Structure 1
């Protein structure tokens, strides 16, 4: 006897694949909003961004957009995250153009990108100031972001120490955090006073934090002592 199953496989397939489709659609919509928001920031600055314009550019209703991004701040965070992704990709290329591929010494490439993108820098520093509130939408992202940058700076210090380019007595993790503080502070000063030579200021600060003046003094002292003998 042939038993005909009453189980409908097509319904089973639909039930298992539709969540994936919905997830893909959600990612597509979130990406569209982030792209639209970042474009507005680059064109007009983050203060000019409105939820209505972002929704229009993302080709969705404002209600649908606010389902994914409840507030304007959430939209700005999405724009900042996208900007950070693009910044990192470009920074890698800049290392090769400005640093000869040397990722141990980031100031020239970092400053060059900042000088070319004042709008994103303003957004980043503005959200950083507001994100000190643990309840702010940018808090978790920026906390993780800062820790990652500190780690990368610290790794750069370790590589420079191994090459004899940084004081071996320094604690790379502490120096990495100090470099992050210097980088944030100098960018803020540059936004307030664009006459500041950002590349030079960052390079000098990083050299000092890496112990280069002390190393140079020790080298000169050693050379002086050797010639006097």
Structure 2
């Protein structure tokens, strides 16, 4: 026998849901401003103006400009990592690693805002005193190690070209990929990121692409 269960009372949207919505709006506006103008030139006033508030009110959500920038990067990491994971799948066969990279590169073209944000802020982070310096040092170390790990699997399977090591494959692929994406952001009609990456991978591996 099923007992009668009282109908639940509809929940009201409280201050937290409104606050979360406003926070997401601020992050979206900050991503836009930092992605176009960079961190130093991007102002809290411009970000606040996009979401229809004053800079002082914005500081109730993010106490400093540095804190807002870090929140933007954290949010973009979640999105970009999800995109990369979905595109790459789970290449259990080492021979599928280059194809997984190409799928990620293809999907990246659908999220130019994320690529633009990383490209501009990564370049800025090389300047003294920039708040993202430690973030990008750690990020590049992490990505290089991830790349080295998958290329090591290819090395163990004798799928790297003669004389190419996993360390070299990782560093050269990351360097070329970043550089080509920067050129693509500047002149998307003239640069084909996937084509350049495919040629590079064909040169450092023995996999047919």
Work out whether the TM-score is over 0.5. yes
Return closer, same or farther for 1:131/1:42 CA change in 2, 3 Å cut-off. closer
User: What's 1:80 paired with?
Assistant: 73
TM-score by length of 1: 0.64
Unaligned 5+ segments in structure 1 are 1-24, 217-229
Q: Find out whether 1:206 has 2:195 as its counterpart.
A: no
Q: Following the alignment from structure 2 to structure 1, what is the Cα–Cα distance between the partners of residues 21 and 71?
A: 8
* Cα deviation, residue 127, structure 1: 0.4
Q: Find out whether 1:197 has 2:186 as its counterpart.
A: no
TM-score by length of 2: 0.69
Return closer, same or farther for 1:44/1:136 CA change in 2, 3 Å cut-off. closer
Alignment of 1:106-145 (within 5 A): 106-145=100-139
Q: Following the alignment from structure 2 to structure 1, what is the Cα–Cα distance between the partners of residues 34 and 58?
A: 20
Q: Following the alignment from structure 2 to structure 1, what is the Cα–Cα distance between the partners of residues 140 and 163?
A: 24
* Cα deviation, residue 32, structure 1: 6.2
* Cα deviation, residue 124, structure 1: 0.8
Q: Following the alignment from structure 2 to structure 1, what is the Cα–Cα distance between the partners of residues 33 and 127?
A: 26
Q: Following the alignment from structure 2 to structure 1, what is the Cα–Cα distance between the partners of residues 179 and 36?
A: 21
Root-mean-square deviation over aligned CA pairs: 3.7
CA contact (8 A) 2:159 2:206 kept: yes
Name the SS of the counterpart of 1:36 in structure 2.
Answer: helix
Q: Find out whether 1:46 has 2:35 as its counterpart.
A: yes
CA contact (8 A) 1:55 1:65 kept: yes
CA contact (8 A) 1:46 1:123 kept: yes
User: What's 2:9 paired with?
Assistant: none
Greater RCO between the two (CA within 8 Å, min separation 6)?
A: 2
Q: Following the alignment from structure 2 to structure 1, what is the Cα–Cα distance between the partners of residues 149 and 21?
A: 32
Unaligned 5+ segments in structure 2 are 1-15
* Cα deviation, residue 51, structure 1: 2.5
Q: Which has the higher helix share?
A: 1
Return closer, same or farther for 1:186/1:37 CA change in 2, 3 Å cut-off. farther
